[in-house]
């Protein structure tokens, strides 16, 4: 009598969120021989939603299940390995993670998927109501900043990645910058709130698309919340010699330089219907990031086209960093 062993091995590249469990089948043949079969492993997938539920220190509101397209990201199948540095997307004013009136990150996410990324490497959440009717009331208040901050922290913990990339658009540029900077933020009433320590060592590439880093020209003399002198995009005034009175929030961000990541890039255009011609505010280009490593400017692209039609340069920046 002898032992016949048949072993089937399943070899795959699996993320830390995919596990397997083997079980053996022992069969005694009519001849008296014993056949031991090691079954193919059964994959157990831990989705981002399940992980958030198990980790109460992170809010499940990051999923924004109250909105269609309120979030995306996480392992969905056994094919979703993590071989790239995960990317977090931060949307703009009254937009959402994907879909909606402004489209969110739908097109860009699809392009990354077409270039070999998986859903386990691409993440987005929504801050705010995602209602364009509320756009004038968006500020960098605690609720919004911490939504972005906690999302970054949760993705880092869930993927177990040492670093992430951040791609941001419009108001999301300054929102993400404050979430990364850490320290304290400003609420609408001027009271401060705690964000936490800086995440600068956790960000590989930071890309800011059409952001109002020096304020918004539409906020000259405006009293809308989005133009708040506390936590809005108020660009200050010109006293004949220099700009004075920029919002406390923007002054705080721009006091620091090149903290957003190891590599910092901006994308802007000369035909942006929101930021205006060449993003100019008091003679400065508001879309450029202080201390940036590079930029890409485009003629003829509008505010949302700058987000949706510039995948090539973003992909190059990210791939070259890895």
Per residue in 235-252, pLDDT (tens digit) is 999 888 888 899 999 999
Residues 160 and 109 in one domain: yes
How do residues 51-80 score in pLDDT, each as one tens digit? Answer: 999 998 888 799 999 999 999 999 998 888
Give the pLDDT confidence score for residue 48 in this predicted structure: 96
Q: Is residue 136 pLDDT above 60, yes or no?
A: yes
| Confidence (pTM) | 0.87
Domain count, the chain: 2
Residue 203 φ/ψ region, left for φ over 0, alpha for ψ in the -120 to 50 degree band, beta for the rest: beta
Residues 276 and 216 in one domain: yes
Strands in the chain per DSSP E: 3-7, 18-21, 24-28, 34-38, 42-45, 87-90, 122-124, 164-169, 183-186, 192-196, 203-209, 237-238, 243-244, 263-269, 280-281, 284-285, 294-298
Residues 34 and 51 in one domain: no
Residue with more model confidence, 79 or 300: 300
Full residue range of the structural domain in which residue 168 is found: 46-321
Q: Categorize the per-residue pLDDT at 25 as very low, low, confident or very high, splitting at 50, 70 and 90.
A: low
Query: Would you call 4 helix, strand, or coil by DSSP?
Result: strand
Residues 209 and 133 in one domain: yes
Proportion of the chain above pLDDT 90, given as a percent: 77
Residues 34 and 157 in one domain: no
What average pLDDT does this structure show over 285-299?
97
Q: Angle 311-321/106-114 helices, nearest 10 degrees?
A: 50
Q: CA 285, CA 278: separation in Å to the nearest integer? A: 7
Q: For residue 68, what is the domain's CATH number?
A: 3.40.50.1820
Residues 80 and 28 in one domain: no
Q: Is residue 131 pLDDT above 80, yes or no?
A: yes
Token pair 């008091």: residue: 282
Residues 14 and 59 in one domain: no
In this structure, what token pair is assigned to residue 166? Answer: 């951040």
What average pLDDT does this structure show over 173-196?
96
- Asked if 42 and 20 touch (Cβ cutoff 8 Å), the reply is yes
Q: Is residue 5 pLDDT above 90, yes or no?
A: no
Residues 27 and 169 in one domain: no
Residues 15 and 105 in one domain: no
What average pLDDT does this structure show over 123-130?
98
Residues 89 and 9 in one domain: no
Q: Categorize the per-residue pLDDT at 7 as very low, low, confident or very high, splitting at 50, 70 and 90.
A: very low
Residues 63 and 87 in one domain: yes
Give the pLDDT confidence score for residue 59 in this predicted structure: 81
Residues 10 and 95 in one domain: no
Give the pLDDT confidence score for residue 12 in this predicted structure: 41
DSSP-derived secondary structure letter, 133? G
């Amino acid at each position: 009598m002898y032992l016949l062993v048949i072993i089937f091995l399943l070899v795959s590249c699996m993320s830390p969120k995919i596990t397997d469990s083997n079980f053996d089948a022992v069969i005694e043949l009519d001849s008296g021989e014993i056949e031991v079969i090691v079954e193919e492993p059964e994959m157990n997938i831990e989705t981002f939603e399940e992980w958030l539920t198990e980790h109460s220190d992170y809010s499940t509101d990051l999923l924004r299940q109250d909105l269609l397209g309120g979030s995306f990201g996480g392992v969905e199948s056994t094919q979703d390995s993590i071989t790239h540095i995960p990317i977090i997307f931060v949307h703009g004013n009254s937009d959402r993670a994907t879909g909606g009136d402004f489209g969110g990150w739908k097109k860009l996410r699809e392009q990354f998927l077409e270039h070999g990324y998986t859903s386990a490497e691409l993440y987005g959440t929504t801050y705010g109501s995602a209602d364009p009717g509320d756009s004038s009331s968006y500020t960098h208040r605690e609720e919004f900043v911490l939504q972005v901050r906690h999302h970054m922290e949760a993705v880092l913990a869930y993927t177990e990645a040492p670093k992430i990339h951040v791609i941001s658009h419009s108001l999301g540029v300054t929102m993400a910058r404050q979430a990364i900077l850490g320290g304290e933020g400003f609420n609408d009433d001027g009271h401060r709130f705690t964000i936490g320590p800086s995440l600068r060592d956790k960000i590989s590439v930071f890309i800011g698309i059409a952001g109002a880093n020096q304020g918004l020209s539409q906020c000259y003399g405006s009293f809308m919340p989005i133009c708040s002198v506390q936590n809005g995009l108020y660009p200050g005034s010109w006293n004949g010699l220099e700009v004075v009175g920029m919002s406390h929030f923007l002054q705080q961000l721009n006091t620091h330089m090149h903290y957003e990541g190891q590599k910092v890039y901006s994308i802007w255009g000369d035909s942006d219907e929101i930021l205006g011609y060449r993003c100019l505010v008091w003679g400065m280009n508001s879309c450029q990031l202080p201390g940036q490593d590079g930029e890409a400017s485009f003629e003829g692209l509008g505010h949302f086209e700058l987000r949706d039609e510039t995948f090539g340069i973003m992909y190059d920046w990210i791939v070259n960093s890895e």
